[in-house]
Amino acid sequence: MHRRLPEALYNQIEALARATARTKRFLTIDALTCYVERESWQIRDIYEGIREADAGEFATDEQVKGVFAKYGA
């Protein structure tokens, strides 16, 4: 693990592991899991937007104007 990570990051993980009585492996897997879950919405939303566009599901001009009016844009 240490040889593949920047030394400062490795040291932070090591210190956090000691402070929380967790293993470095646990912390690493937990961090990656949280990151992947947090970022995956983008891919889902992009594909959903493409599907909607391919199906011709677009907001009307009035709907767009309503959103802009609501948020002051």
DSSP state of 72: T
pTM of the model: 0.58
Write out the two tokens for 62.
């009035």
DSSP state of 5: S
pLDDT per residue as tens digits for the range 4-40: 889 999 999 999 999 999 999 999 999 999 999 999 9
Spatial contact of 59 and 36, defined as CB atoms under 8 Å apart: no
Q: How many CB atoms lie within 10 A of CB 50?
A: 10
C-alpha–C-alpha distance, residues 11 and 23, integer Å: 13
C-alpha–C-alpha distance, residues 38 and 31, integer Å: 11
**Mean pLDDT for the stretch of residues 41-63:** 92
